[in-house]
Structure 1
Amino acid sequence: MKKGVLSLALAMVFGVAMATEPTVGDKKEVKTESSTITWKAYKVTGSHYGTVNLKSGSLIFDGDKLTGGEFEADMTSLVALDLEGESKGKLEGHLKSEDFFSTEKHTSSKLVFTKVKSTGKNAYEVTGDLTIKGITKPVTFDVSVYGSKATASVKVDRTAYDIKYGSGSFFENLGDKTIYDEFDLVVDLEF
């Protein structure tokens, strides 16, 4: 009798423990060659935009509901698309330097979803840990998923990642040399 009660108790404990383990869900690898990350940064006298390549990524689904994701961007691939020639080379070199993304030391940036909340059909509010220059901070943004495609727009405060060059929040009398603290990322994914 005691053996039967003990077996039943063990079965219940292990059954509950197994039932409360989080499920991974269906992990879908992102097609890096057909996915894009476009950046746009703003200054008093205008803006610049370009791309950075996605190194790897995946989205996790439970059925057709988004539940997670993780991405890595190749910061050494950062390019400006709005300039040509010497100006283009100068801007790209400056963005890769210690003043901005320090791509020689920090070759990649990473985003890991920590919370996904459905806000409507195919729409989600996502919070994730974004790591730039080895500094991790939370960001919240919207994601839309349609079939095998997902899009997101993320606003990033560069000063949270120790990128303060030309910031009016840290330096006075910059005038028309002021670069705004926030930049935008538009992410289009195929999986």
Structure 2
Amino acid sequence: MRNLFVVALALVVGTASANNVETEKKEVKTEKSTVTWKGYKVTGSHEGTVALKSGYLEFKGDKLTGGEFVVNMTTIGSTDLEGEWKTKLDGHLKSDDFFGVEKHPAATLVFKKVKATGKNAYEVTGELTIKGITNPLTFNISVYGSKATASLKIDRSKYNVKYGSGSFFDNLGDKTIYDEFDLVVDLQF
């Protein structure tokens, strides 16, 4: 009987300590992390980068449980153009036609729910704020050691980024810029 009591007590203590694993914030190394974007139009595409200002991932043990990121929108720029064309596109992306970085120098992503979908794989539901407008966003992220990778599709029309959008303007023809753009995020922490 005494042995049964000892086994039961050990199970209770073991379960309690397993459930009390501390949440740990792991700061992202912004200088080693990359955010690459790709936007599409009827006649082709453009791609570039934007820098993270700050960010962290939260873990409980080795399981991802949360995260929060701030993107420095003033750094948005193209990588597929050079010279005058690059200068023009970069300036246009920073203007009020697109991201209005003078008034909105940062965008944020806050994880609200993280669900494991496999070994090292998670589905994240978060809130993305661009130009002061917040919308829900769901995407997948993979975590391996001190690195994480995510691919996101963003609908710019939800954030009042209207320029060249067929959702807002008629008869654009081959000047149409599609609403969805891609982000590929590679994080080191």
- Whether TM-score is above 0.5 comes out as yes
Give secondary structure in 2 for the equivalent of 1:95: helix
2:172 aligns to what? 174
Answer yes or no: is the 8 Å Cα contact 1:24–1:60 preserved in 2: no
Residue in structure 2 matched with residue 188 of structure 1 by the alignment: 186
Q: For the aligned residues, what is the CA RMSD?
A: 1.2
Q: CA deviation at 1:127?
A: 0.6
Aligned counterparts of 2:135 and 2:170: Cα–Cα separation in 1: 26
Which residue identity is paired with 2:113?
K
State the one-letter code of the partner of 1:130.
L
Deviant stretches of 4+, over 3 Å: none
Displacement of 1:69: 0.1
| 1:51 aligned onto 2:49 | yes
Contact map agreement 2:112 2:125 (CA 8 A) in 1:
yes
Aligned with 1:28 (options 11, 26, 29) = 26
Q: Indicate the residue corresponding to 2:129 in structure 1.
A: 131
Q: 5+ unaligned residues in a row in structure 1: which ranges?
A: 1-21
Answer yes or no: is 1:165 the counterpart of 2:163. Answer: yes
Amino acid at match of 1:119: T
The letter of the residue matching 1:55 is K
Q: Shift of the alpha carbon at 1:23?
A: 8.1
Corresponding residue number in structure 2 for 1:82: 80
Rounded to whole Å, the distance in 2 between the matches of 1:108 and 1:28 is: 21
Report the identity percentage: 73
Aligned residue pair count: 170
Residue 170 (structure 1) shift: 1.5
SS at match of 1:89: helix
1:19 paired residue number: none
Contact in 1 for aligned 2:21/2:61 (Cα 8 Å): no
